[in-house]
Amino acid sequence: MTSDSKNPTGSLAPLAAIEDFCRKVFLAAGTDQETADAATRGMLHGTRYGIDSHGVRLLPHYVKGLTEGRLNPRPHLVLANAFGAVASLDADNGHGALATYTGMEHATRLAGEFGIGAVAIRNSSHFGPAGAYAFEAAQRGFIGFAFCNSDSFVRLHDGAMRFHGTNPIACAVPVKGDNPWLFDMATSAVPYNRVLLYRSLGRQLPEGVASDERGYDTADPDVADMLAPLGGEFGFKGAGLAGIPEILSAALTGMKLSFDIAPMPGPDFSTPRGLGAFVMALNPAAFLDIEIFDAAMKRYVETLRASPPREGFRVMAPGDREWAVAAERKKHGAMLDPATVEALRTLASTYRLTSPV
């Protein structure tokens, strides 16, 4: 079911149709099957679970990178520097989703053998929603962590220049008989793609999440020149948190620090950006009887959800919003913003495919 692309609320499209279209576009753009599958899977995590800033709206951006030289459409990934429970993965400038899913696959394998597995990823690229990779670990029965840095777009607390990237941190924990506990956050007040989404929708930004070129707050997405660190008046906490993925994804991988990374929007799409990432998996059964762990997690999330809310509100565990969105979108499809609708139709015309909207 669709609506006119001029509708400011966007258009509905079935998830299956979006997924099929994305995969076909990647293949038509010259990727190998592994890249098409991983890139589509990463974006669909965003679109399925309501992280729309990191969902299918990224498809035209990725295609531009693949066709103009920023991304290697047929990379040869190599596991190097393996030492016990840790390893490094060279992604050969491939798509970040392929690199990070592969890294987490190795991390969970190592965790199965050693109780813990950590993989530093180098020569990667933008990987989309960090929670997708932590979630992958949880689905395999492991506690998963994912980190990455990105080009500078977030000022420091009381700062007036772009310093860190949005530098996300994600963690997912399996809960027996239930969805995982899933936490996925940018260390900025909002991700930059949220600003782009609000521009497309013609909506004002929340207060205190973005700044103009002088570092002063603005709610106008067209004026926003940088993001604020998480925490508002206590933004030093968000700025400090941003340093954790910075160290793990850049200093520990030998890749570029945020302020040395070429801007995601270009104008140069012909040169690889040299991003790093870091993933880790923990095997709960290596620390204690798995039944004790499972019981503790079950009691934790059940007690959390049953705790008294403020009047008119509801207490949710991390991930509860995502599961609710996924159920709704499985039934009715995902609402795509007008700019994304137009971009998908352009790609459909370019590659002689049928647009999902």
Q: Which residue has the tokens 């969105």?
A: 325
pLDDT of residue 228: 93
Q: Which residues contact 58 (CB under 8 A, 6 or more apart)?
A: 43, 46, 126, 128, 193
Contact 36, 75 (CB under 8 A): no
Mean pLDDT of 111-135: 97
* Confidence class for position 9, pLDDT limits 50, 70, 90: low
312: left (phi over 0), alpha (psi -120 to 50) or beta: left
CA distance to 59, 124, 128, per residue, from 56 (Å): 5, 20, 10
pLDDT tens-digit map of 257-291 = 999 999 999 999 999 999 999 999 999 999 999 99
Domain over 76-188+234-306 is classified CATH 1.10.150.120: no
* Confidence class for position 255, pLDDT limits 50, 70, 90: very high
Host H or E run for residue 48: helix 33-48
pLDDT tens-digit map of 26-58 = 999 999 999 999 999 999 999 999 999 899 999
Q: Which two structure tokens, joined as six digits, stand for 357?
A: 């909207």
Of the CA atoms within 13 Å of residue 69, those in its CB half-sphere come to 6
Q: Is the pLDDT of residue 157 over 50?
A: yes
* Confidence class for position 197, pLDDT limits 50, 70, 90: confident
Is residue 12 exposed (0-12), middle (13-18) or buried (19+ Cβ within 10 Å)? middle
pLDDT of residue 2: 43
Calculate what percentage of the chain has a pLDDT beyond 70: 97
Which SS3 state, helix, strand or coil, does residue 211 take?
strand
Q: Is the pLDDT of residue 167 over 70?
A: yes
Question: Which residue ranges make up each domain of the chain?
Answer: 1-68+333-357, 76-188+234-306, 196-228
Domain over 196-228 is classified CATH 3.30.60.50: yes
* Confidence class for position 7, pLDDT limits 50, 70, 90: low
Please tell me the pTM assigned to this model: 0.93
Q: Please tell me the CATH code under which domain 1-68+333-357 is placed.
A: 1.10.1530.10
CA proximity to 186, closest of 162, 198, 169 = 169
pLDDT of residue 199: 87
